[in-house]
């Protein structure tokens, strides 16, 4: 092959390659964009309900929760993220009862494995998806999940229908 033929062959190969690349660029220019600008999009941002961001203990309008302070979640946590403090009290009927004093959870240690939630027999804890939890001090990541003055929700006694009805 003469040097002139080689020159033009190389030139056309280069142009064809360039056109191939430019066609991809041109196509992408008109494709719907999925990348979002955060935090500018904060008002419209949708985080999946299944996203595990923060462990919480739901309380009802009477400031009551469902945690019996059994410690199962603490035992199942693989890395000591949960620390439960409880105390024994005597009920009006004179029975001893364990109640929750403090439910401590360290967001900085948590691996978000969800073992604590799925092993809780009372459905007392769950993960929410509020993900903006950045702080400047690690100690601020340790949270108390039971609210001030809260107590265990009493289970409603089921009313049994008299036999024969």
What is the binding site for ligand SF4 (CB under 6 A)?
55, 67-73, 76-79, 81-82, 84, 105, 110-116, 120, 122, 124-125
User: In this complex, which beta carbon is closest to ligand SF4, that of residue 9 or of residue 101?
Assistant: 101
User: In this complex, which beta carbon is closest to ligand SF4, that of residue 68 or of residue 150?
Assistant: 68
Minimum distance, C-beta of residue 67 to ligand SF4, in the bound complex (Å): 3
Residue 1 and residue 58: Cα distance in Å, rounded?
80
Question: Which two three-digit tokens encode residue 101?
Answer: 């004093």
User: In this complex, which beta carbon is closest to ligand SF4, that of residue 67 or of residue 150?
Assistant: 67
Q: Residue 10: in which H helix or E strand, if any?
A: helix 3-30
How many residues are recorded in the chain? Answer: 165
How distant, in Å, are the alpha carbons of 61, 74, 115, 136, 149 from that of 124? 15, 13, 13, 29, 17
Q: What is the DSSP letter of 3?
A: H
Minimum distance, C-beta of residue 81 to ligand SF4, in the bound complex (Å): 4
Minimum distance, C-beta of residue 73 to ligand SF4, in the bound complex (Å): 3
User: In this complex, which beta carbon is closest to ligand SF4, that of residue 114 or of residue 128?
Assistant: 114
Question: Which two three-digit tokens encode residue 103?
Answer: 């439910």
55 with 109: CB under 8 angstroms?
no
Minimum distance, C-beta of residue 66 to ligand SF4, in the bound complex (Å): 7
User: In this complex, which beta carbon is closest to ligand SF4, that of residue 124 or of residue 150?
Assistant: 124
Minimum distance, C-beta of residue 86 to ligand SF4, in the bound complex (Å): 8
Residue 68 and residue 97: Cα distance in Å, rounded?
10
Q: What is the DSSP letter of 31?
A: S
């Amino acid at each position: 092959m003469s040097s002139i033929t080689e020159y033009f062959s190389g030139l056309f190969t280069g142009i064809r390659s360039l056109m191939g690349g430019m066609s991809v660029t041109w196509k992408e220019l008109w494709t719907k964009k999925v990348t979002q600008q955060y935090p500018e999009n904060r008002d419209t941002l949708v985080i999946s309900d299944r996203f595990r961001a923060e462990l919480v203990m739901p309380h009802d309008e009477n400031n009551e929760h469902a945690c019996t302070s059994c410690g199962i979640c603490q035992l199942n946590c693989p890395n000591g993220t949960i620390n439960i403090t409880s105390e024994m009290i005597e009920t009006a009927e004179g029975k001893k009862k364990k109640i929750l004093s403090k439910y401590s959870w360290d967001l900085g240690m948590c691996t978000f494995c969800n073992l604590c939630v799925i092993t809780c027999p009372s459905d007392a804890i769950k993960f929410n998806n509020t993900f903006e939890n950045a702080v400047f001090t690690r100690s601020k990541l340790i949270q108390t999940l039971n609210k001030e003055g809260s107590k265990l929700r009493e289970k409603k006694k089921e009313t049994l229908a008299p036999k024969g009805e």
